[in-house]
Amino acid sequence: KEISGSNPNLKPETGKTFNIGFIFEPVNAVAVGIDFWRIQKQDEINTLTVESAIEQGNFATVNGEGVVFVNNANVAATENQGVDLDFRVRVGDTPFGRLTIRNAATYYDKISSQFEPGDPFERYEGTFLNPRWRNNFSANLERGPWSSTFTIRTTAHMWDTQLAQGSFSRDERKVGTFEEVDVNVQYTGIKNLQLSGTVRNL
C-alpha cells in the first residue's frame, strides 16, 4: 500500500537563470529582439517512487499490512533552454487609426527533467504540453478612446505522450500544429474608467 502526503522537511526549490539578449532598431518604427535563455532548477518537489522510498527505508507494517511512504521530497531537477524572438513594427497612422504589428516566438531547444538524484536527464521537447515552439502574432489599432487587438496564437505539433523521447513509439497520436484567435476591445472615453472585452479562441 502506498501513502503520500506532505513533508515538514522540505526545502525551498532553487534555480539559476542565464540569458543574453539583443535589440536592434534599424529604423525608428522597427525593433527586433533576440534573447537566448537557460533555466536550471534544483531540489524540485516531486513524489518518491516506490523503489526509491523502500531504498530510503520509508516503509513500515501497519495492522499487519505493508505500507510504503512516497511523500513529497526535494529530489527532482529540470534544465530548459531556448530562444525568444520579438519583432515589432509601428506602422503609424492609417485610415482606421494608429497600427502596431508584433510577432513574438519562443523556440525550446531543450526541455529535460531528472526525477531523482543520479537519474539521467530525460528530454521531453515535442511531447504533450511541451511543443517545440509557440508563436504570437498581434495587430493593435488605436483610434481616439478606442483600442482593439487581434491576436493569433500558434502552437507547434506534439506527440500525445508524457514519456521521454526515445521511450515511446511513433505510432503515438500526433497533435497537429494549431492556431487560436483572440480579439480584445478597450474604451477609455469615460473619465477614470476603462472598459474592455475579450473573446478568446474565437
3-state secondary structure string across 89-123: EEEEEECCEEEEEEEEEEEEEEEEEECCCCCCCEE
Residue 56 pLDDT exceeds 80: no
**Confidence at residue 6, expressed as pLDDT on a 0 to 100 scale:** 75
Average confidence (pLDDT) over 166-190: 92
99-145, pLDDT tens digit by residue? 999 999 999 999 999 887 788 899 999 999 999 999 999 999 999 99
Radius of gyration of the chain (CA): 24
Residue 3 pLDDT exceeds 90: no
Residue 57 pLDDT exceeds 90: no
**Does residue 133 contact residue 106 with C-beta atoms inside 8 Å?**
yes
The beta-strand segments (E) located in the chain are: 2-3, 14-27, 30-47, 59-62, 65-69, 72-94, 97-114, 122-123, 133-143, 146-155, 158-159, 174-175, 178-190, 193-199
Residue length, the chain?
202
Q: Which three cell numbers stand for residue 82?
A: 531556448
Instruction: Indicate the pTM of the whole model.
Output: 0.79
83-109, pLDDT tens digit by residue? 999 999 999 899 989 999 999 999 999
**Does residue 195 contact residue 186 with C-beta atoms inside 8 Å?**
yes
